[in-house]
Amino acid sequence: MKKIAVSLILIFSSLFSYSSHFMGGEITWQCIKGGPDVGKYIFQMKVYRDCNGITFSQTSQTLTHHNYPSLGTTTPILLNFISTTDISPTGSIASGNT
């Protein structure tokens, strides 16, 4: 009973933890509809981060596709780093930007 009480206290008194460097991201893909690569896909990954946080690695990343070409297998997809773009809001504070 004592272990259950301690466990419940730990669960309900836990502290929140936040990260400030990665804000979110997107993974999109597009099917190639013509040429010699018809039927293949182009994958794109966008990562959004806090400019004041840690720097993002500018190396290639690997996206793992599960259960392809058959159930229980994985296929790595190499995503090459292309560029960094600052998308910080611009304008005056009066326009809602801080």
- In which band, very low, low, confident or very high, does the pLDDT at 96 lie, cut at 50, 70 and 90? low
Per-residue pLDDT tens over the stretch 41-74: 999 999 888 877 777 778 888 999 899 889 999 9
| Cis before 69? omega within 30 | yes
Judged against a pLDDT cut of 90, whether residue 28 lies above it is answered with yes
Q: What is the mean pLDDT of residues 9-32?
A: 78
The SS3 of residue 11 is: helix
Residue 24: which H helix or E strand, with range?
A: strand 22-31
Domain regions of the chain by residue span: 20-85
Looking at residue 5, its pLDDT comes to 79
